[in-house]
Amino acid sequence: AQSVTQLDSHVSVSEGTPVLLRCNYSSSYSPSLFWYVQHPNKGLQLLLKYTSAATLVKGINGFEAEFKKSETSFHLTKPSAHMSDAAEYFCVVSENAGGTSYGKLTFGQGTILTVHP
Amino acid sequence: EAGVAQSPRYKIIEKRQSVAFWCNPISGHATLYWYQQILGQGPKLLIQFQNNGVVDDSQLPKDRFSAERLKGVDSTLKIQPAKLEDSAVYLCASSHWGERDNEQFFGPGTRLTVL
């Protein structure tokens, strides 16, 4: 079974300061991990994905995440927040048993990021 | 490349009424998903199709929800009769099958309000 825990329901930062959104996962098999972003009244957009290649993954809009198997974590970071980053962020896990994806995504509860001027 | 299309974008109904949502996936995507996103929660998978066959419907409330994907392209999700707790955003997503990273592409969703 797979699960995801996003450790903060809300994160508030000032524009230009670093962003850290925390995520821990649980998976019986080798997981794929994703971060999706959801802006108000818009669809979910993929930010980045980890699929057992490099543990440090770079995504769009300056975001990156590091897969740490020993800590079962996949935290999302950005060096400098922009006002347009304000949105809800979802950490997502997908199990890959036997090297093929079952396709089932399990979403975390979401973290709302607020960026102050 | 056109994205995943959904309609309607918004729907308001009375409890015990019926409602249907439509989804058109990205061209060539064999796999189609329906998710329910209740306010303040992450999306939850309701049903997954591979072409026109059901792969996973374990979390679909089958006494009131039904879905079909005729001809392996468009899909319809129906609720009959609706309950207050069905108020949510219903998301459709699609992906290629067999890709290990399984990137799913999401539509804008249909926001359902049940009064």
Mean pLDDT along residues B45-58: 89
Q: Higher pLDDT residue, B87 or B95?
A: B87
Question: Distance (Å, rounded) from C-alpha B51 to C-alpha A41?
Answer: 29
Average pLDDT of B38-51? 91
pLDDT at A104: 76
* Range with lowest mean pLDDT among A39-53, A72-86, B1-15: A39-53
Q: What is the pLDDT of residue B76?
A: 97
> Which residues in chain A have their CB less than 8 angstroms from residue B26's CB?
none
pLDDT at site B98 = 54
Is residue B100 scored above 60 in pLDDT? no
Share of chain A above pLDDT 90, in %: 69
Mean pLDDT over each residue of chain A, to the nearest integer = 89
Asked whether the predicted pLDDT for residue B58 surpasses 50, the reply is: yes
- What is the pLDDT confidence band of residue B79, given thresholds at 50, 70 and 90? very high
Of residues B66, B78, B84, the one with CA closest to residue B15: B84
Q: What is the rounded CA–CA span in Å between residue A2 and residue A34?
A: 13
Residue that is written with structure tokens 């995943």 in the block:
B4
Residue B64: name the closest of B89, B45, B81, B87 by CA: B81
Which residues of A are less than 8 Å from B95 in CB distance?
103
Give the residue from A101, A103, A76 showing the smallest Cα distance to A90.
A76
- Interchain pair B91, A43: CB under 8 A: yes
Taking the C-alpha atoms of residue B36 and residue B45, their distance in angstroms, rounded to an integer, is 7
pLDDT class for B101, splitting at 50, 70, 90? low
Give the residue-averaged pLDDT of B63-79.
94
pLDDT for residue B84: 97
According to the model, what pLDDT value does residue A101 have? 45
Which chain B residues are within 8 Å of A100, Cβ to Cβ? 98, 100
Residue B21 pairs with which residues in a beta bridge?
A: B77
Q: What is the pLDDT of residues A87-98, one digit of tens each?
A: 999 999 887 654
B53-61 mean pLDDT: 90
Pick B42's closest partner by Cβ from A32, A46, A107. Answer: A107
Q: What is the pLDDT of residue A114?
A: 97
**Residue B32 pLDDT exceeds 70:** yes
Question: What pLDDT is recorded for position A103?
Answer: 65
Three-state DSSP state, A41: coil
Contact yes or no for B104 and A32 at CB 8 A: no
B36: distance to nearest CA of chain A, Å?
A: 11
